[in-house]
Structure 1
Amino acid sequence: MSIVTQRRIDQLLSRYAESHRHPVNEQIHCVCVPAIVLSLLGLCWTVSPAVSLVVAAAALAYYLSLSPPLAAGMLAMTAMTAVMLVILARLPAGAVLPLSVAVFVIAWIGQFIGHKIEGKKPSFFEDLRFLLIGPLFVLGVLYRRWNIRY
């Protein structure tokens, strides 16, 4: 009899999914999680673009340790985010900071509305790693729709 060991990424995504089963909550997360990532990298960008890139690289290294296919998707999403930040940085001086703060606040309000609908508290209240797993959950939703294995 063989024992099948579940991959760490599957365990994390399964635990995360426990509080993200309601379709409306999932849809809200698919919009708000990428917005939060953009806003966080935008806030880092206001310190220095290099800081934003270091933070993104650290997250990507973690993602690579969990799942190379998901890390590849996150690399693409991070590249799109970086392009958006370059465009935003060309707006009048100081525009990235207020936009990032506004997006951050609005997206978190959306997240908490989703969890109110779900009837369960956000996963990161139990484990802060789930702040990094949220983007992988969203990417996993896309991968499943496109029949991509991760």
Structure 2
Amino acid sequence: MAAIHHLLDEYAESHRNGTNKLIHWICVPAIMISLVGLIWSIPVPEFFRELPFIFNWGILFVLLCMVYYIALSPSLAVGMILVTAFFLWIVYQLDQAEQLPLWAFCLIIFVVAWIGQFIGHKIEGKKPSFLKDLQFLLIGPVWLLSFIYQKLGLRY
């Protein structure tokens, strides 16, 4: 696995335009929330529902992502755990709202956010990094988090 700094630098190569960066600050979290919500919506076996805590495919997906982030950078993983816990809370609230099925709401957000991402890359004039390496789908969120770490003077 490549060093986190190398991955962040490579990701940054196609994210230099200010408008594209702004779009990413909006769309990457929206994609994260909607993707977790879509996966959360997949029916789970009965034994998952009988657990004394909420456990579903969305939470399992998040846990697997955290293993990846810990391997890349334990420091950034701590931030991702906090951010993702907040996103899980949002998904839970959306699931409880019952205004629209969670999967339908998340599908709309997912599609709109990806359209935004591709508009940003059209403005940037460069293809999204994940077209080169799917690993970059998981790098986008930590790339944003790395800016927060830099502002706070935290090392990663």
- Give the structure-1-normalised TM-score: 0.91
RMSD of Structure 2 on Structure 1 (CA): 1.3
1:34 corresponds to: 29
Kindly provide the amino acid, as one letter, of the partner of residue 53 in structure 1.
I
Offset of 1:93 from its aligned partner? 7.0
Letter in 1 for 2:85: A
Q: Does 1:89 pair with 2:95?
A: yes
Question: Of the candidates 40, 63, 73, which is equivalent to residue 69 of structure 2?
Answer: 63
Q: CA deviation at 1:146?
A: 2.2
1:72 maps to 78
| 1:103 corresponds to | 109
Residue 10 of structure 1: aligned partner: 5
The alpha-carbon deviation at position 69 of structure 1 amounts to: 1.1
How far off is 1:142 after superposition?
Answer: 1.6
Q: Are 1:22 and 2:17 matched, yes or no?
A: yes
Q: How many residues align?
A: 144
Partners of 1:91 and 1:137 lie apart in 2 by 31
The 3-state SS of whatever aligns with 2:97 is: coil
Overall identity of the aligned pairs, in %? 46
Paired with 1:93 and 1:45, the residues of 2 have a C-alpha distance of 17
Question: Which residue is equivalent to 2:147?
Answer: 141
4+ residue runs over 3 A deviation: none
1:86 Cα deviation after fit: 1.3
1:113 aligns with 2:119: yes
Q: What is the TM-score when the length of structure 2 is the normalising length?
A: 0.88
Q: Which runs of 5+ in 1 are unaligned?
A: 1-6
